[in-house]
Structure 1
Amino acid sequence: MANTPSAKKAARKIARRTAVNTARRSRVRTFLRRVEEAIESGDKTAAMTAFLAAEPEMMSATSKGIFHKNTASRKISRLSHRVKALGEA
């Protein structure tokens, strides 16, 4: 347990930051899940709409430090290929 006032304040700040980061991560995962569900249903327009909403959410979380830039780019790229493949199949 923290003893000094500065350590107590740091513990409070960490708890607040953790809560915010958890909420942001959860929000991004929800957007990604919507894209996954639309892809599985085979509805290209729904998948495209969900993807267009998910992409800025993912990059916003990246700029906030929730995800690494390359991780976000990789996920977006893979989803994009899967959404694009819906029309071709």
Structure 2
Amino acid sequence: MAHHKSAQKRIIQTAKRAERNRYYRTRIKNITKAVESAVDASDKAAATDALKIANKQIHSMVSKGFIKKTTAARKVSRLHKMVNAIEA
């Protein structure tokens, strides 16, 4: 265990950040899976609704500083491509 007060604080901060990061990583995976499952079912309406939610959630993570803007744009773009491929 840490002997200095600053080291103890650092351990607490790291644990908090790890928990927060785990939550957001899981959230991104679940959002993406929702869109993918709607696309696999060829349900355009459900896929579009899931995509709207995904777009909003992913970009809110950018504003919180969890992911970079370009990463969010890439993820959303890939989801858009999948949803648009339903029509083809």
**TM-score (normalizing by structure 2):** 0.89
Pairs aligned (count)? 88
Rounded Cα–Cα distance in structure 2 between residues aligned with 1:55 and 1:29: 13
Which position in structure 1 is the counterpart of 2:86? 86
Aligned-residue identity in percent: 39
Which position in structure 2 is the counterpart of 1:44? 44
What amino acid maps onto 1:10 in structure 2? R
What amino acid maps onto 1:28 in structure 2? I
> Which is worse superposed, 59-68 or 9-18?
59-68
What RMSD over aligned residues (CA atoms) do the two structures have, in Å? 1.3
Q: Tell me the CA shift for residue 10 of structure 1.
A: 1.1
> Which is worse superposed, 48-57 or 22-31?
22-31
Question: Which has the larger helix fraction?
Answer: 1
> For residues 1-89 of structure 1, what are the structure 2 equivalents within 5 Å?
1-87=1-87, 89=88
**TM-score (normalizing by structure 1):** 0.89
**Structure 1 segments unaligned to the other structure (5+ residues):** none
